[in-house]
A and B are shown apart, each in its own frame.
With several copies, the nearest count.
Chain A
Amino acid sequence: MRYDVFFAGYGGQGVLLAGNLLSYAAIHEGKNVSFFPAYGVEKRGGAAMCTVVFADGDTGSPVVGNPSVSVLLNQLSFDKYAAKVKQGGICIVNSSLVDTGGIDLPGIDVVLVPMNQIALEMGDVRMVNMVACGAYIEKSRALKSESLAAALKKALPERNHKLIPANLIAMEAGAQAARD
């Protein structure tokens, strides 16, 4: 199997960390992984995107035109990328910041998760990306949550390992929200 997921948001929302995390999780499951980031020109507050492809065999293209799953964390990303999701794919949206405006995305499973709100409830808005990852594994079933737990150790710098339990809870909350 070959999986792909696209994350987009603004700088500071932890998009790249989320991509890294999923990458390590996939590696943990013995997959080959390509993680491909992209940034806007601003140092702070600009756009940030990444694509993660993982597969048992060759990952092939690190670039994906129509992602099977997109996780869109702000309005700009939603407006630009929602319609690109593959037919039959999933579009996970941070409904705290995105007004889907009743836009119709036929053939795409649009999953609204109020990520900022959940993260704030967890005590730190910076955990938006963890909430997003939780929602992703819940909906895609592409990776096991144990793998993400293991991956956190790799993706986070040593000094942040104390935050792992909180992150796991945030993920679970994201998964929960996506399930509902």
Chain B
Amino acid sequence: MQTTAAEKIFVKGNEAVAMAALEAGCRCYFGYPITPQSDIPEYLSRELPGLGGEFIQAESEIGAINMLLGASATGVRAMTSSSGPGISLKQEGISYMAGSELPGVIIDIMRAGPGLGGIDASQADYFQATRGGGHGGYRIIVLAPASVQEIYDLTMLAFDLSDIYRMPAMVLADSVIGQMKESVTPNSRPKTVLPPKEWVVRGRAEGTPQNVVKSLYLGDGEMEAFHWKMQARYQELADKESRWEEVQTADAELIVTAFGSTSRIAKTAISMAREAGMKVGLMRPITLFPFPKKAYAAISERCKLFLDIELSTGQMIDDVRLSVARDAEVAFYGRPPGAGSLPTPEELFEQIKKNYQACS
């Protein structure tokens, strides 16, 4: 890492993740190589040993997520990272972590799918991340950065939220954000007050209660009670932790909505539209779960036309539709993932024009 005069460093998104994890006090990393995120384990394999931490290249993504489960259960901060196929393999483990109320950070640098797909940027794993690709109807925290600085900051936030709400937290980005280099101010770990981890499995010393990390609930009504407890926690998350960015929405007649890398492309397209005299704004969810429903509802009181842009055939659009006012319209422009399919600002500008004209 070379630092500039301004203390900024110019790094890849993936490297920023690794740096932020270390700053957040993460001392255990378990992962399995997969493009386009392998810079993360590579960086940590260099840095963790010197910090007294543990780096394991697991035998598989399943090994990795279960090592994360084991480490998190003992109360340390730990992380794994992967991409599409590997994240699919982790679904059972994530479900167990959610069912065991375990924290733990999962980085998902999305690539094109389904199947082996390709290594190009994708947003087609939105459903998998936000709806729980695993069984049992749990949810996890999902944070969607749109810049290298933000992936740094959100990785740190993921550790805090995960500890506070006792559930896995995922940073959901794609190969644009993971491979892109930008200048980053390596912020130090925020002084968030974290709840004590009394539930930790670390040996049942005399006089302390037995701690058990488990997801098995067999007593009458126990599992149901767990679900309602989680439901309340999700609501609390929505109330306290919803994050989003609005750009020029105040006077907008068309609101583009997009997350992560697409929001970056959209921003330039919106500048082009503004230059062309169109009142266009951007609504970018930063937390995908909790989805900033209220913010969408509020915006849609004043602007009735949305254009949702995704690197998929449309997934977040469900959340947008379920959030906006009933009389709002949500148009869609999707470029499913794959080589040569990343939209350009010019292309999105055309879409904005088309929809803007349709409305006026």
Contacts and interface: CB of A to CB of B under 8 A. Distances in A.
Direct contact of A and B (CB under 8 A): yes
A103 interface: no
Interface stretch (A19-27, A71-79, A91-99): A19-27
B303 interface: no
A65 B347 CA distance: 8
Interface residues of B, number: 26
A154 B344 contact: no
Interface string B176-200: 1001111100000000000000000
Nearest to B266: A61
Given A27-B4, A36-B180, A154-B2, A60 B268 contact: yes
A61 B267 contact: yes
A28 B344 CA distance: 28
B218, B261, B346, B347: most-surrounded residue (chain A CB, <10 A): B346
A67 B94 CA distance: 40
A166 interface: no
A153 B186 CA distance: 21
A60 B271 contact: yes
A62 B10 CA distance: 15
Nearest to A60: B268
A33 interface: yes
B344 A63 contact: yes
**Per DSSP, are chain A's interface residues mostly helix, strand or loop, or mixed?**
mixed
Contacts of A34: 180-182
Interface in A4-50: 20, 23-24, 27-28, 32-38, 41
Given A33-B183, A37-B179, A61 B218 contact: no
Given A24-B10, A27-B4, A62 B176 contact: yes
A36 B10 CA distance: 12
A72 B190 CA distance: 45
B341 to A, nearest CB: 11
Nearest to A41: B218
A100 interface: no
A58 interface: yes
A152 to B, nearest CB: 12
A145 interface: no
14 contacts: A24-B10, A27-B4, A27-B10, A33-B181, A33-B182, A36-B181, A37-B179, A37-B181, A59-B182, A61-B265, A61-B267, A62-B265, A64-B344, A65-B344
Given A27-B183, A36-B176, 12 more contacts: A23-B10, A23-B181, A24-B10, A41-B119, A60-B267, A61-B344, A62-B180, A62-B261, A62-B264, A63-B176, A64-B344, A65-B345
Interface of B: 2, 4, 8, 10, 119, 176, 179-183, 218, 261, 264-269, 271, 342-347
